[in-house]
Amino acid sequence: MSRADEAPRPAIAAGVGAATIRPFEDRDGPAIIALAEELRHFEAAIYPRMKPSRRLGRWYIDDLVADCIEGDGRIIVAERAGVVVGYVCARARVTDEARDRTQITYAMIDDLVVTGECRGQGIGTALLNAAEDYARSRGAAWVRIGVLVRNQEAYRLYRREGFGDHLALLEKSLLPKE
């Protein structure tokens, strides 16, 4: 997925070191898998119904790459001192196929994750901005991102970066209360 015609984005100031934002390279696979597992563990703590799933493996990277191919996307990583500390997946062309609405195409940002020890240092913002830049460069006029409501840190980041509520999906348990 790396593109030789694109240089890494300039380093950003982040905590005790700088992070470079750049396109995913195949060698980043193990780090991406570890970050995705960290995200799953974090989300399971705030969303108790999340089912434990089989351990992530190379298939996870293959699925992300396939999503990027299908949606004109890119995986973008943040690297600090040679270590991948975050990533995001940006797809520039996703089609809303709801029967009751005009069909639209928009960009979708998925899987934004920064390792716990690097959160709050501007890396998530830099990844989000890089994903938006990529989508814009591919002609996207709108971008969407999903967030678990209980993930308040991510929700605040997205709101601070200009995202507004679009659709709320509410749920309610029908199981007897214990």
For residue 74, tell me if it sits in a domain.
yes
pLDDT in tens, 75-132: 999 999 999 999 999 999 998 767 666 778 899 999 999 999 999 999 999 999 999 9
Question: Is the separation of the CB atoms in 133 and 53 below 8 Å?
Answer: no
For residue 70, tell me if it sits in a domain.
yes
Total-model pTM: 0.82
More confident residue, 70 or 43: 70
**CA–CA separation, 48 and 127 (whole Å):** 27
Rounded alpha-carbon distances, angstroms, from residue 54 to 42, 59, 113, 115, 147:
16, 11, 19, 21, 22
- Res 1 pLDDT > 50: no
Residue the block writes with tokens 């639209």: 104
For residue 166, tell me if it sits in a domain.
no
3-state secondary structure of 157: helix
Considering only CA atoms, give the Rg of the chain. Answer: 17
pLDDT in tens, 27-65: 999 999 999 999 888 888 888 776 566 688 899 999 999
- Res 22 pLDDT > 90: yes
For residue 176, tell me if it sits in a domain.
no
Structure token digits, residue 94:
């996703």
For residue 174, tell me if it sits in a domain.
no
How many distinct structural domains can be found in the chain? 1
Question: Is the separation of the CB atoms in 59 and 110 below 8 Å?
Answer: no
Mean pLDDT of 170-177: 79
For residue 172, tell me if it sits in a domain.
no
3-state DSSP helix/strand/coil % of the chain, to nearest 5: 35, 25, 40
Domain carrying residue 142: 12-160
**CA–CA separation, 136 and 131 (whole Å):** 9
- Res 159 pLDDT > 50: yes
For residue 6, tell me if it sits in a domain.
no
Closest CA to 41 of 113, 103, 141: 113
Give the model's pLDDT for residue 125. Answer: 95
DSSP string, 127-146: HHHHHHHHHHHTT-S-EEE-
For residue 175, tell me if it sits in a domain.
no
Question: Is the separation of the CB atoms in 115 and 85 below 8 Å?
Answer: yes
Give the CATH number of the domain where residue 123 resides.
Answer: 3.40.630.30
